[in-house]
Amino acid sequence: MSALCRLVQRGLWGARPSCPFFPGLQVVCGVAPVRTNGSSSVNPVNLSYDVFDGKGDNTPLVFLHGLFGSKSNFHSIAKSLVQRTGRKVLTVDARNHGNSPHSPVLTYEAMAEDLKHLLAQLHIEKCVLIGHSMGGKTAMVTALTQSSLVDRLVVVDISPSRSSSSSNFRFYIQAMQEMKISSNIPRSTARRMAEDQLRTLVENRSVRQFLLTNLVEHNGHYAWRVNLEAISAHLEHVMSFPSFDTTYHGPTLFLGGASSAYISSDDYPEIQRLFPNADIQYIPDASHWIHADKPLDFISSISSFLQS
């Protein structure tokens, strides 16, 4: 019996019988318990995750989302990749995002430590790590510090350098912090009220819709599930990238959106220095959110990379 099946039996994971989009596909979700050994100054948190259970024995895929995102951003992608590759696929909520716990710390070192402990608890010795934006930086840090955990690496529309100006993100945070929503109103009404208030500082409708995925209701009260205080305090760190003298020699794919500026030719030398076996590709007519703009092309690129 596999370690994953044993975890389901022990009640650490809750299993849903099937996926409505892909009949017969088992989806498992849960939160891994954390055991610390005192070797790190960063205490890992219990990350929330979903597992889409493939039938194959190949290395599992692990998806890491971007800033203000959540594990659900990759659910449809995960289901398709299970069907196409037969691999087990995990989607993970970063600390201070989704259903993962809040923490005053939001650094790439901490997020890489969280991931390391999650994989250890799930008895995953190696994975294909796929990270978008902030998740891509976490994936790179993990590969550069824990290379034995990463069989292959896919970095989606981000580079190992400082990202573009954080001013837009400051506006997003300000707009979200200033939001006031009445209690005990229908969710649809609350969502409209929230979008109306965000519109002043967040002009792009797609961005507003993305931010609104974080609006949650609890006992009639509406709030943001992301930890805005921690994000605001660490925004400069999230926009930057730690310095490394190490390299990751595993197969690596940098997958950019052709309409995005997050991976530029200026970044190529640093990519080559840190990831000497990296291939850089772009998906036409895709913005920063490649997986949302061009899901079929995104899936095909990853599938081809896994077979290369």
The domain ranges of the chain are: 49-163+241-306, 165-231
Measured between alpha carbons, how far is residue 181 from residues 24, 200, 206, 207 in Å? 40, 16, 21, 19
pTM of the model: 0.86
Provide block-wise average pLDDT over 10 residues at a time, the chain (308 residues).
30 34 45 42 89 89 98 96 95 98 97 97 96 98 97 98 80 94 91 94 92 94 96 96 97 97 95 98 95 96 95
Q: Which residues pair with 154 in a beta bridge?
A: 130, 253
Residue 57 is predicted with a pLDDT of 84
Residue 54 is predicted with a pLDDT of 83
Q: Is 229 a catalytic residue?
A: yes
What's the CATH number for 49-163+241-306?
Answer: 3.40.50.1820
Catalytic residue among 70, 80, 100, 133: 133
Q: Is 102 a catalytic residue?
A: no
Residue 11 is predicted with a pLDDT of 28
Q: What is the largest CA-CA distance in the chain?
A: 55
Residue 56 is predicted with a pLDDT of 79
Q: Is 133 a catalytic residue?
A: yes
Catalytic residue among 65, 75, 132, 288: 288
Q: Which of 144, 138, 142 is nearest to 116 (CA)?
A: 142
Catalytic residue among 109, 195, 217, 229: 229
